[in-house]
């Protein structure tokens, strides 16, 4: 049994179709959505959304935050940023982490917590991508 799934980012509709299951990185932990799931909403943390489409195809998409809405109509994820794992630019992301480290080191005391949170999100994202790409054993 399948359900309608849509992953939307500000730049485009990333993925849309009938899904058998979708695993989403919620702020309180990963959750799996199947057909006839109880309705709820969740904030999405940076991580990987794993989708198994109705035809058996599997897709993995990196998201950098957003919201997930499970309704009787299916699952909609509104992501702040989304890119297929296969298209993710590790080198650019590692550069972004280095810049965030430098910004954190130079941050004024009142800016330090926000800089630390950004750095932690970027590092968590890198770990998730490395796992998804099979670069971590």
pLDDT digits 0-9 by tens, 31-82: 999 999 999 999 999 899 999 999 999 999 999 889 999 999 899 999 999 9
Q: Rounded distance, CA 29 to CA 32, Å?
A: 10
* Tokens encoding 17: 């179709």
What is the pLDDT confidence band of residue 137, given thresholds at 50, 70 and 90? low
């Amino acid at each position: 049994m399948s359900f309608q799934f849509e992953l939307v980012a500000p730049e485009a509709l990333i993925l849309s179709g009938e899904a058998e299951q979708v695993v989403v990185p919620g702020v309180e932990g990963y959750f799996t959505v199947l057909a006839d799931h109880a309705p709820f909403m969740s904030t999405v943390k940076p991580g990987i959304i794993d989708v198994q489409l109705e035809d058996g195809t599997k897709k993995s998409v990196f998201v950098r935050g957003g919201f997930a809405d499970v309704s009787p109509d299916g699952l909609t994820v509104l992501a702040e940023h989304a890119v297929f794992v296969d298209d993710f630019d590790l080198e650019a992301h590692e550069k972004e982490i280095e810049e965030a480290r430098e910004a954190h080191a130079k941050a004024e005391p009142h800016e330090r917590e926000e800089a630390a949170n950004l750095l932690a999100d970027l590092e968590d994202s890198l770990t998730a991508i490395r796992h998804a790409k099979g670069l971590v054993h």
